[in-house]
Amino acid sequence: MLAFRFWAALCLALCGQHVAAEPLWLSDQPPDPAMTARLRSAHGGWLEPGPRGTFFKRLWLRAGAIPATAGYATAVEGGEVLLQDPAGAHSTPSAADSAGKHSHWRFPVAKEGFYNVYLTQRKVRDTRLHVSMAKAEVLKHSCREGHDDVQSKMPPKHLASIPLELVRERLHKEDFHTRLGFGDTVTFRVLAYGAPVAGAEVTLNTMSGWRNTAHSDAEGRVHFTLVRDYFPDWADFDYRHRQDFLVIATLDRAEAGTLDGVPYARTRYQATLAGQYHPSSRDYQSYAYGLTIGLFGLSFGGLGAYIYRRRRTRPFREVRFHD
């Protein structure tokens, strides 16, 4: 009995450590699918319409490495939230009223461009300081606002005050309408207080559970190719099908100190950044090309048959015989 209690206690302790170590990240997917009825699909994800033509963004805190199975966190202990708008101005969004169910934030998105939201949390566990930085990059764009001077609004931003941060670099000629797709190679940079970090462990997880791990180079860059893991029947194919991915960067350093009177001997930094991708245009353009060629062949064959029949048809001509 004592041995059973010992192993049960050890199992619970290990499970508790595993749950506590789950990466935190920010998502615009609501926990209740029925909530999407109040949201509007736009470039960059879900937006919530407000009064007088305003729009709001909601972000929920989630825990877990696999987007398809990650749960929604119910509370944030000691977390600091910071919002950076497209102009670079900083503010602190207030937590939305979730009736104690799920932690999330709601903030207006009035300016066109990219918003960065940072959630920083520090905890000491097993004489080690765990610093978690969850980041979300939010795009607000409406075609009614035009497309002038788009490229000046595309470069990604970062904050020099963030201990560890992931930045997604833009694709070639990317604009507000660009969607990541299967087969695209995406580049991320790992920055610590604005400076590139070499040797950081970076892992990309997809909704299907596929994962790939690499280490950042001397400039803090790491490259991943988005795999195709969406194979429906052609009748069920949806070119708007959304696949979420989660990128996690970790870095261990021999930094000692105290937090709220609790000493620690080392520090472990973890940064997360979520994103989404869709079926590549090549997946359905090939079918469009095939359909175009088929229609062209059918039309050409029909036209040829019509011309052939016309040439074979002899016009009526009256012939009279005189005996």
**pLDDT of 8:** 41
**pLDDT of 315:** 66
In a domain, 307, yes or no: no
| pTM to 2 decimal places | 0.80
- Looking at the structure of the chain, the number of domains it has is 1
In a domain, 236, yes or no: yes
pLDDT band at 151 (very low <50, low <70, confident <90, very high): confident
Over residues 81-98, the mean pLDDT reads 87
* Domain housing 185: 17-279
Residue closest to 274 by CA, chosen among 14, 45, 35: 45
In a domain, 190, yes or no: yes
**pLDDT of 229:** 80
Using a 10 angstrom Cβ sphere, with 0-12 exposed, 13-18 middle and 19 or more buried, the burial of residue 181 is middle
The winner for highest mean pLDDT among 5-9, 75-79, 141-145 is 141-145
- For 183, the token pair is 């087969």
Q: Is the confidence at residue 289, as pLDDT, over 70?
A: no
Q: At 210, which amino acid appears?
A: W
Residues in the chain: 323
Give the position of tokens 């070639």. 172
In a domain, 6, yes or no: no
8 or 62, which is more confident: 62
Q: Are 150 and 139 in contact (CB under 8 A)?
A: no
Over residues 72-83, the mean pLDDT reads 82
Residue ranges of alpha helices (H) inside the chain are 2-20, 281-312
Per the prediction, the chain carries an average pLDDT of: 84
pLDDT tens across 121-140, in order?
999 998 999 999 999 999 99
Over residues 239-268, the mean pLDDT reads 92
Over residues 241-266, the mean pLDDT reads 94
Residue closest to 42 by CA, chosen among 285, 276, 227, 207: 276
pLDDT band at 44 (very low <50, low <70, confident <90, very high): confident
In a domain, 215, yes or no: yes
In a domain, 83, yes or no: yes
The Cα 122–Cα 264 span in angstroms is 12
In a domain, 127, yes or no: yes
147-161, 206-220, 222-236, 298-312: segment of lowest average pLDDT? 298-312
**pLDDT of 15:** 40
Q: Is the confidence at residue 304, as pLDDT, over 90?
A: no
pLDDT tens across 166-203, in order?
999 999 989 988 889 888 999 999 999 999 999 999 99
The Cα 242–Cα 118 span in angstroms is 23
Over residues 213-226, the mean pLDDT reads 96
In a domain, 274, yes or no: yes
Q: Which helix (H) or strand (E) holds 63?
A: strand 55-63
134-143, 152-161, 235-244: segment of lowest average pLDDT? 235-244
**pLDDT of 53:** 81
